[in-house]
Amino acid sequence: MRWYRGTIRPLKKFRGRFLYALSSERRFSMAIKLIILLAFFTVMIAVGLYCRKHATDVNGFVLGGRSVGPWLTAFAYGTSYFSAVIFVGYAGQFGWKYGIASTWIGIGNALLGSLLAWVILGRRTRVMTHRLESATMPDFFGKRYDSNALKLVASVIIFVFLIPYTASLYNGLSRLFEMAFGVDYAVCVIVMAVLTGIYVIAGGYMATAMNDFIQGIIMLFGIVAVIAAVLHGKGGFISAVNGLAVVNDPVASTQPGVFASFFGPDPLNLLGVIILTSLGTWGLPQMVQKFYAIKSEKAIAKGTIISTVFALVIAGGCYFLGGFGRLFSTPEVVANIGFDAIIPTMLANLPDIIIGVVIVLVLSASMSTLSALVLASSSTLTLDFLKENIIKGMKESSQLITMRFLIVVFIGISVVIAIIQYKSNITFIAQLMGISWGTLAGAFLAPFLYGLYLKRTSKIAIWFCFIFSVVLMTANLFFRPHFPLLLQSPINCGACTMIVGLVAVPLISAISKPPKKDIVDEAFSAYEEKVTVSVKTAIED
């Protein structure tokens, strides 16, 4: 129909026929998109209902019985990592700022955020958390450092700072849905939130993991199709790079061809983005929790490879695509509308079937991350804050009911914040993504990592990380202009909290009161347990 629409001339005598043909095309286009969406939503709900049998107790609801295989775990890790914020917000923003060099962010996400995280954290997390019988990150802190206060404070930090993180997930949907359907943003947000809530409440972690696998496959094929279609529209890869090389923006850089260069116009800030978005995942509770549930040693080895390849395709593809944003938008458009308009502008003229794939891609990215966040937040608040502290002798059935209720509350609060932000154009709420990520990663990365490896790690060092990260990132939100220029960016400030924590925890632990020897020995004895392996792994003495 596109050749018809491009060649016909709406003369008076053909006007009625032309308008009828045009409206028919639009109806057909809308039908394709709606069919794709309905099929997607049906599968998600069906999986949630199917997984109800795995969510009959707390261990099954929160961790899938600690028997989740490598493919489900790896895809759950990857889809929780990359949300619509990455595809629409960060890809557009950093692609605009750094050009094709923004691809380094995706490579860093794959190598640091996935490969190294699995190698360093995967096995030890699974082994020690199983020995300590901890299902959440705050519970790990409480048992590993023998401190109920640490557990309570960690649970509060997670609940408070995951809410704005969750609200930011919806931001990437608004322009895409308006472009594709002309549907009000609030309706899109509510529908997505309700459907996610249904399958998480019904099936718990196993439903989330299975849906993440399906959503991950959609994301893999979707990003490849979108990149191919966008570059084809610009005459292919070489032609697009040549076009990017002649783009000139004196505000960003006076160097010719900088947006098509290897490191872009600002390598130092680019490094800060790589550190926060890659190393930061090591301290995010919804990410680390994936290692709690993995089934076996073989599953960890396979999951490491699968997760790394997934991250390389998805993150590398998203930031690579965003690097060509300046071929589709102008500084004036970005100044007036914002970075979130860049990716939708790139996609606006793609074929209807590709638009449908993009919508499902972004929905998959959003719903997978949303499900991980609400499950982490509700389980943390129930098991680490309410149980035994507020509600004494809380039965397992009551814990399940409370977690399901808190999922509804958590989703509801995030939906309200997202709609208020959109309707009132309150931009600082959208910026809370960087604040949330920086606070959580800065507070938990070093305490969790050293808790797995360093026996000498002390409670004082953990308290320092908690307080330093919360205070610094909160101050950055309200007093940003008074910060040094390099730290005015929430991303750079978040990277700073992580680096300070990694340096400070061993130093403070070395000069402070050591932890109780029996508590530490009990935790680390998990690594000394004897297991029987096949001769392929080890030859018998």
Q: At 472, is the pLDDT very low, low, confident or very high (cuts 50, 70, 90)?
A: very high
Which H helix or E strand runs over 108?
helix 103-108
Residue 528 identity (one-letter amino acid): E
The pTM score is 0.83
pLDDT at 332 over 50: yes
- For residue 156, tell me if it sits in a domain: yes
Give the whole-number percent of the chain exceeding pLDDT 90. Answer: 18
- For residue 11, tell me if it sits in a domain: no
Q: Percentage helix, strand, coil, to 5, in the chain?
A: 80, 0, 20
- For residue 197, tell me if it sits in a domain: yes
- For residue 10, tell me if it sits in a domain: no
Contact predicate 447/461, CB 8 Å: yes
- For residue 539, tell me if it sits in a domain: no
Q: At 177, is the pLDDT very low, low, confident or very high (cuts 50, 70, 90)?
A: low
Ranges of beta strands (E only) in 110-186 are none
- For residue 314, tell me if it sits in a domain: yes
Mean pLDDT of 258-274: 83
Q: What is the pLDDT of residue 6?
A: 43
Task: Say which residues have a Cβ less than 8 Å from residue 329's Cβ, sequence separation at least 6.
Answer: 96, 341, 342, 345
Q: At 89, is the pLDDT very low, low, confident or very high (cuts 50, 70, 90)?
A: confident
* Of 25-34, 174-183, 404-413, minimum mean pLDDT range: 174-183
pLDDT at 4 over 80: no
Quote the CA–CA distance of 507 and 509 in Å, as a whole number: 5
Mean pLDDT of 196-225: 86
Q: What are phi and psi of 483, to 5 degrees?
A: -80, 155
Q: What is the pLDDT of residue 60?
A: 82
Give the domain CATH number at 305: 1.20.1730.10
Torsion, CA 148, CA 152, CA 153, CA 156, rounded to 10: 170
- For residue 327, tell me if it sits in a domain: yes
Quote the CA–CA distance of 498 and 5 in Å, as a whole number: 55
Q: At 466, is the pLDDT very low, low, confident or very high (cuts 50, 70, 90)?
A: very high
Q: At 209, is the pLDDT very low, low, confident or very high (cuts 50, 70, 90)?
A: confident
Task: Say which residues have a Cβ less than 8 Å from residue 379's Cβ, sequence separation at least 6.
Answer: 61, 62, 135, 136, 403
Question: Where in the sequence is the domain holding 308, given as residue range(s)?
Answer: 25-525
- For residue 207, tell me if it sits in a domain: yes
Torsion, CA 405, CA 218, CA 87, CA 321, rounded to 10: 180
Q: What is the pLDDT of residue 535?
A: 65
Say how many C-beta atoms besides its own lie within 10 A of residue 463's C-beta: 18
Mean pLDDT of 140-154: 91
Please report the DSSP string for 332-364 in residue order: HHHHHH-GGGHHHHHHTTS-HHHHHHHHHHHHH
Total structural domains within the chain: 1
Segment 484-506, tens digit of pLDDT: 887 888 878 888 899 999 999 99
Q: At 464, is the pLDDT very low, low, confident or very high (cuts 50, 70, 90)?
A: very high
Contact predicate 368/75, CB 8 Å: no
- Judged by DSSP in three states, 103 sits in helix
